[in-house]
Chain A
Amino acid sequence: MSTFLFAVVSGILFGVFFSLMAIGLNFAFGVMKIVNLAHGDFVMLGAFGAYYALSTFGINPFATMIMEIVVFLVVGVGLYYGIIPRLLRSDDPEMLSLILFFGISQVIEALATLAFGTNPVTLPTNALGQLSFQLFGQAFESSWVISFLVSVVAIGLLYVYLYKTKMGIATRAIMANRDEAAASGIDVNRISAIAFGIALVLAAIAGTLTPFMLGGIYPSVGVNLTITSFSIIVIGSLGNPIGTVVGGLVYGLSLLLMQTYLSSWANMVPYVLLILILLIKPSGLLGKGARNA
């Protein structure tokens, strides 16, 4: 029983973290209808940022997180203006985005390999704090709990942005219909650029937490993280950020329960869930046949 409870609680902690990791990918898709296949590589860069800041300069991961929020926002906005308006003018931006971002992913991985080498690196798990967390008589790593809390706050702030701010309402209008939003006077490019920046900021925050949740990091880990994120948003609902939270929880719980009871099959979870969802409910668990903001 204690093993089951440990797996369930761990699954929830991991699930919310996975939601954070995937939500930026879904957010960018929802606003721009593009699939950022380099999403996992941005998560990887965020993770290496945390590693080098701590190991080289002794900077706390939370301080790194704040710095990365600024840097990734700027990079995201710059990247948007550099490539996405052109992409959106093409006949099939969704398809072309796959190729373009796959290329960007390869470039990032190659540059990261040159910069960081091929060896996996880790951070001491007490770098996020040494508080112990007890639930149901089980002790959980403080880094997991802190990562969970940070994920909840980040996802919550995205929700507040989308539903309680003018820019967020404009963003939702673009998600509903880009052309109509432009016709109603919304500066579509500016709002989309900020949305893309926010998507990368969410990837960076997840990246800062990744060494504490997923173990060793290395330059090529980005592809795996993109696949995991992609599976989660399909499970939840493509284009629906709230669906990503559900997708993350389903994924996290399934993964950790499998690790506990059928460990050798654990890594098949994302693919099995992906296939099941595509067969049974292609629009995702929270899908309504249309994208929701």
Chain B
Amino acid sequence: MQSRFRKGTLWAAAALSGGMLLAGCGTTTSAPASGPAKTKSPTAEISIGTLYASTGSFATSSMPEYQGLQFWINQVNASGGTYVKAAGKKEKIRLVSYNDQSSAQTATSLYNQLITVNHVNMLVADFGSVLTSVAVPIAQEHKQLLFDQSGTGTTFFTPNNPYIVLTSLPTSALWPTSLANYLISQHYKNVAIVYCENDFDQSQDQTLTRLLAKAGITPTYNNAVPTSTSSYTVILHNMAATHPQAVIELGYPNNDISFMQALQASGSTFPTTFTIFPGQLPSLFEKNFGMKGLNNMFTYPAPPLFTVQGVNYGMPIAQFAQAFKKQTGSSPNFLNVAGYNTGLILQKTLATATSLSQKSLRQAVTGFSGSITTLDGKFQINNQGAQIGETLPVGQFTVSNGKLKVNFMS
């Protein structure tokens, strides 16, 4: 029995990991469909390699971001391609993409495959810090510039790594600035924070607690939970026991949903309750909790919940929303905007770089940093590649005349 069981356990582990790997290796190409490139070609077409997660805990965020990138490629190819300065002409884009199924392990081998087998011209990371974290060292090792869409963890950006550029969100270290300012302005003394254990949320927690400490505020509760946490009731009970004036939950969409469900079930209310993703995926949260559930919730509103002024590159938000809906049949959310914005940065890079070498691409990004404003905000990176031009305000959802509105607090 014992040996059979142990044998069975080993089989189960092997079957699970093998299956995950096989399932993740399904190659898809799109717009136009063709096989993966074997060598880098500066003249035929531009190959862009990326990963997406069609299943798993990051699918909610990864798929819309991927959709946004696909939208950009379709737009570019429909207009005959994008101008590539290195070739002196317009070239079409070929997307090489694989499904990492939200698994960082699967993503590791697939990022390697994009670089060493597919030899893509430009490498784009999957959504978020968890799935980007494994790409950073791989890209650095292969001296391939990583266009990091939304992996904002501060540890990715180091002085000795020029092979990373954050495109569509500010680095996590900047996110909580507006939130901290708001909490300080309210003269709160009791703040309770729960954050997920990943670069994205940990960076935010560190920045938030540092800024609060400067104002003499020490959180009464500040604990980490695994990113896979799905039940927050006990955690919320423990937070409530500290009688907080503000309850801050820093997680990914699945965490925010579970947290809000626990909040709704407990019937607890606090003067300020903050979660990140309702501002980026409002329709998803409205579907789960209704307007009533979102009423008074604080969040980081992002386009299209607000309109960036002074757009000088790519479509402004209204035009994008119209074109996106025409092409996909659905209204865009922030992650669609983020994916499209990544495309715009790739486009500008190709239009600026004098060659397709990775160093030249990076120099090109540095060159136009600070000079373009897209529908996502001002694109500006620091010398480590971290995005510092965009800002995220704090907003509060309110229901007015049967409609969900956002009041901006900062």
Instruction: Identify the A interface with B (CB < 8 A).
Output: 2-3, 6-7, 10, 14, 35, 37, 94-95, 98-99, 102-103, 106, 109-110, 113, 118-122, 124-126, 141, 143-144, 213-216, 218-221, 223-224, 230, 234, 238, 256, 259-260, 263-264, 266-268, 278, 282-283, 289-291
Q: Which residues of B come within 8 Å of A, CB atoms?
A: 1-2, 4-9, 11-12, 15-16, 19, 23, 54-57, 59-60, 63, 101-102, 194, 197, 223-226, 228-235, 237-238, 241, 253-254, 257-258, 261-262, 264-266, 284, 287-289
In the assembled complex, the Cα of A263 lies from the Cα of B289 at a distance in Å of 26
Decide if A215 touches B230 in the complex (CB within 8 Å): yes
Shortest 3 CB-CB distances between A and B: which pairs?
A: A215-B258, A118-B59, A125-B265
A143 to B262, CA, bound (A): 11
How many Å lie between the Cα of A43 and that of B131 in the bound state?
27
Interface of B is mostly: helix
Q: Which of B4, B265, B289 contacts A94 (CB 8 A)?
A: B4
CB distance from B57 to the nearest CB of A (A): 7
**Pair B59/A7 contact, Cβ less than 8 Å:** no
Residues of chain B lying within 8 A (CB to CB) of residue A215: 230-232, 257-258, 261-262
CB distance from B259 to the nearest CB of A (A): 8
| Interchain nearest-CB distance for A42 vs B (Å) | 17
Q: Of residues A113, A120, A124, which shows the largest number of chain B Cβ atoms within 10 Å of its Cβ?
A: A120
Q: Are B19 and A102 in contact, CB atoms less than 8 angstroms apart?
A: yes
Output the residue of B2, B194, B253 with the most chain A CB within 10 A. B2
Taken together as a complex, chains A and B put the C-alpha atoms of A4 and B234 apart, in Å, by 10
A35 CA / B5 CA spacing, docked (Å): 10
Shortest distance between the CB of B163 and any CB in chain A (Å): 30
Task: Give the docked Cα–Cα distance between A206 and B225 (Å).
Answer: 25
Q: In the assembly, what is the distance between CA of A37 and CA of B15, in Å?
A: 10
Query: Are B19 and A264 in contact (CB-based, < 8 A)?
Result: no
Chain A binding surface SS class = helix
Contact residues in B for A214 (Cβ distance below 8 Å): 230-231
- Whether A266 touches B226, Cβ cut-off 8 Å, given contacts A10-B234, A118-B63, A218-B59, is yes
**Judging by beta carbons under 8 Å apart, are B224 and A263 in contact?**
yes
In angstroms, Cα B261 to Cα A288, docked, is 42
If A266-B226, A290-B1 touch, does A98 touch B12 (CB 8 Å cutoff)? Answer: yes
> From residue B113, how far is it (CB to closest CB) to chain A in Å?
21
The answer to whether A238 touches B5, judged by C-beta atoms less than 8 angstroms apart, is yes
Minimum CB distance partner of A55 in chain B: B287
Residues of B within 8 A of A99 (CB): 11, 15
Which chain B residue has the least Cβ–Cβ distance from A289? B1
- Assess A109 versus B229: contact at CB under 8 Å? Given A215-B257, A282-B5: no
Set of chain B residues within 8 Å of A143, measured between Cβ atoms: 265
Closest-by-CB residue of A relative to B22 is: A106
Question: Which of B12, B56, B231, B235 touches A230 (beta carbons < 8 Å)?
Answer: B12
Name the one of B11, B223, B241, B254 contacting A95, with C-beta atoms under 8 angstroms.
B11
Contact of A283 among B2, B7, B284 (CB under 8 A): B2
Chain A min CB distance to B296 (Å): 18
| Bound-complex Cα distance A196 to B240 (A) | 44
CB-CB under 8 A from B1, the residues of chain A are: 238, 283, 289-291
Most chain B beta carbons < 10 A, residue from A7, A103, A119, A291: A119
Cα(A220)–Cα(B16), bound, Å:
13
Whether A216 pairs with B254 at a CB distance below 8 angstroms is: yes
Chain A hits for B262, CB < 8 A? 215
Whether the pair A120, B55 counts as a contact (CB closer than 8 A) is no
26 A-B pairs whose Cβ atoms sit less than 8 Å apart in the complex: A10-B233, A98-B11, A98-B12, A98-B15, A99-B11, A102-B12, A102-B16, A110-B55, A118-B55, A119-B287, A120-B254, A125-B264, A141-B265, A213-B231, A215-B262, A218-B59, A218-B60, A220-B55, A220-B57, A259-B231, A259-B235, A264-B223, A267-B229, A268-B226, A282-B6, A283-B1
